[in-house]
Structure 1
Amino acid sequence: MQVSQNARPVVGIMWMVVTGLLFVAMTAVVKHVGDVLPAAQAAFLRYVLGLGFLLPMIKPILAARLTRRQIGLFVTRGMAHTIAVILWFFAMARIPLAEVTAMNYLSPIYVTLAAALFLGEKLPPRRLAAVVVALIGALIILRPGVKVIEPGHIAMLGTALCFAAGYLIAKQLSDEVSPIVIVGMLSVTVTIGLAPFALPVWVTPTLPQLGWLFLVACFATAGHYTMTLAFAAAPLTVTQPVTFLQLVWAVLLGALAFGEAVDGWVVFGGAIIMASISFITWREAVARRSVTPPVPATKV
């Protein structure tokens, strides 16, 4: 059925709501698996079990005839994403769902800063102010000196940085190769990159653990697909603010399923970061640029 032009923003919002639910479900499953399996092994199994989704991408990858430079960029992106995924799995087992979700919002802020520092993008005062406000939001979440900063918090700071680096490389490649090649090469390089980290700490997984990690792969794949449907239906300025609902879902799920206390400061800090991202996205739309990624684009 053809969707009318006036209804498309609503459709985009609906798909982004579904995307947020899928990604929060993914993080919840990872948290359920916990630290029974080492973080590197759990991440490796998540990608190995998801290789079946890669089959339709093999032919386009081979047909792309990648240059040595492009392969180098893909490998570099794969290394950054590999580290990000390990740190993300590590953090999931150690800090509340809401804090993981809120701190992951920092990736688009890092992208904005890195684009200015390394790609020559302009950083006018309004965007710079939005970045500063987002960093204040991160400090509200962490509250150094008021509460203990756990290793999981440090891991999430590293996760956001590595995801940002991977996104910037993907942005460079997006003008040269098709999206399906970019997605497929990420799966290949990250699976290979995780293997050396997973094998030295290998613990024989149980069938239920394998089943849960396969579910993670399914949720992640479905989330990225529904995200593309959202972007096709509505601009980022419409869909980006909706991603804040992920934090709401994470708070509710953490409280109901894992008995995590609801921390209003985490929600407040996450809201500040999300507001800053939405402002930067709007400013880029006005200027007809596209640098700051949507929050779900920096996901496992």
Structure 2
Amino acid sequence: MSADNTRLGIWLMVATTFVFAMQDGISRHLAGEYNVLMVVMIRYWFFAAFVIAVAVRKAGGLRAAAATEQPLVQAFRGVLLATEICVMILAFVLLGLIESHAVFTSYPLLIAALSGPVLGERVGWRRWAAIAVGFVGVLIILQPGMRVFQIEALIPLAAAFMFALYGLLTRYVARKDSAATSFFWTGTTGAVVMTAVGLWFWEPMSAPDWGWMALLCVTGAGGHFLLIKTYELAEASAVQPFAYLQLVFASALGLLVFGETLETNVVIGAGLVVSAGLFTLWRQRQKELRD
């Protein structure tokens, strides 16, 4: 990879995190007014149309994109991601963008912790130490025992766990399937399951909110497109640390648009989580270079 490609890949990752943060803000607004399942269902309709359009343009078309030897795992991945999105948007409504994202940033640590039992990878003591530090950060954010503990605070942690498992399963299926195949299954199975559930919760939507809904769909597809381009240009290890900027952008949105407050414990805890995550990424990079 050239230095120019890596530099452009980093800028694309920054743009990706900004777009996804805007998507989260719009999701919070719409889910505050309408049922979460309906909002995610409509978003998935557009997402499925997007992945099908991408598949049609590639060699082999839809048949090639859908071809897999592991359909059950691929389908489970798609359902898992759709469920995680619903849970995370619920967290935005109940807890706000700042605290939800501060907890959710623990997902790379969960991936590291689960990579052993799920993928059979070896996790050394340094990464286990980083995982422990990261979860101290999560506890600082949640403050169990320091105040009346809100059960809602566990919702973004559950979303982080689901997203970590989704990420590990994505690495698992990548041993046999292409990224295009995984992308196709993610969009289509998610759309099927969300339609089966979401139609039961249909509500009339105002004209301005249909505009926000359209923007949510565009930012969702646009964010995934930017992410694909990012990984085409640069190695994941070079750009992944910049994914943490989504926490910064989402926090700014929470402060400026939704009137949220930035608590000291959240800043300290998020700092520990991000630092531990960056160390884990660095150790993974060192391991890949040795191998």
Does the pair score TM above 0.5?
yes
Aligned to 2:101: 101
Count matched residues.
Answer: 285
Give the alignment partner of residue 9 of structure 2, picking from 12, 19, 30.
Answer: 12
Q: Determine whether 1:63 maps to 2:64.
A: yes
User: Unaligned stretches of 5+ in structure 2?
Assistant: none
User: How do 1:256-267 residues align onto structure 2 when only pairs under 5 Å count?
Assistant: 256-267=256-267
Say if 1:92 and 1:152, in contact at 8 Å, map to a contact too. no
Confirm or deny that 1:25 pairs with 2:19. Answer: no
Q: Secondary structure in 1 aligned to 2:95?
A: coil
Residues 1:112 and 2:112 are matched in the alignment: yes
> Which digits, 9 at most, give the CA deviation of each residue in 1:190-228, with x for residues without a partner?
111112321332222233333322322221222222223
Q: 2:98·2:250 contact (CA, 8 Å) conserved in 1?
A: yes
Identify the match of residue 44 of structure 1 among 41, 46, 54.
41
Q: Distance in 1 between matches of 2:212 and 2:255?
A: 21
Q: Alpha-carbon deviation of 1:134?
A: 1.1
Aligned residue number for residue 241 of structure 2: 241
- Amino acid in the other structure paired with 1:122: R
**What is the CA RMSD across the aligned residues, in angstroms?**
2.2
Distance 1:248 1:118 in 2: 31
CA distance in 1, matches of 2:62, 2:170: 15
- Give the Cα separation in 2 of the matches to 1:166 and 1:149: 28
* Alpha-carbon distance in structure 2 between the residues aligned to 1:112 and 1:60: 35
Cα-to-partner distance string for 1:88-128 (whole Å, 9 max, x where unaligned): 12112111211122222122222212211232211110011
Q: Which amino acid aligns with 1:226?
A: L
Aligned to 1:297: none
Deviation at 1:63, TM superposition (A): 2.2
**What TM-score do the two structures reach when normalised by structure 1?**
0.86
Does the C-alpha gap of structure 1 residues 278 and 35 become closer, same or farther in structure 2, counting only changes over 3 Å? same
The unaligned stretches of length 5 or more in structure 1 are 290-300
Superimposed CA distance per residue, residues 232-267 of structure 1 (whole angstroms, 9 cap, x where no aligned partner)? 444344323322322222222111111111223222
Of stretches 131-140 and 49-58 in structure 1, the one that deviates more from structure 2 is 49-58
How far does residue 20 in structure 1 lie from its aligned partner after superposition? 1.4
Which residue pairs with 1:228 in the alignment?
228
Separation of aligned partners in 1, 2:146 and 2:231? 40
Indicate if the aligned counterparts of 2:66 and 2:185 stay in contact, CA closer than 8 A. no
Give the structure 2 partner of residue 281 of structure 1: 281
Identity of aligned residues (%): 25
Q: Which runs of 4+ in 1 moved over 6 A?
A: none
- SS in structure 2 of the partner of residue 88 of structure 1: helix
Shift of 1:187: 0.6
Provide the C-alpha distance between the structure 2 equivalents of 1:223 and 1:188, rounded to a whole number of angstroms: 17
The answer to whether structure 1 residue 139 and structure 2 residue 103 are counterparts is no
Contact (CA 8 Å) 2:101, 2:156: kept in 1 or not? Answer: no
Which structure shows the bigger proportion of residues in helix conformation? 2
For residue 175 of structure 2, give the secondary structure of its aligned residue in structure 1. Answer: coil
Residue type of the partner of 1:115? Answer: S
Greater Cα shift, 37-46 or 110-119: 110-119
1:53 aligned residue: 50
SS in 2 for 1:229: helix
Deviations 1:124-164 (A, max 9, x none): 10011111111111111111122444454222111111112
Once the two structures are superposed, residues 251-286 of structure 1 have per-residue CA deviations (whole angstroms, 9 ceiling, x without a partner) of: 221111111112232222222212212111111111
- What is the match of residue 294 of structure 1? none
CA contact (8 A) 1:77 1:170 kept: yes
Q: Aligned partners of 2:181, 2:282: CA distance in 1, in Å? A: 29
Q: Distance in 1 between matches of 2:108 and 2:285?
A: 15
Written as runs of structure 1 = structure 2, the 5 A alignment for 1:207-218 is 207-218=207-218
For 1:20 and 1:268, locate their aligned partners in 2 and report how far apart those are by CA, in whole Å: 22
Q: What is the deviation of 1:29?
A: 0.7
TM-score (norm 2): 0.89
**Residues 111 and 164 in structure 1, CA contact (< 8 A), matched pair in contact too:** yes
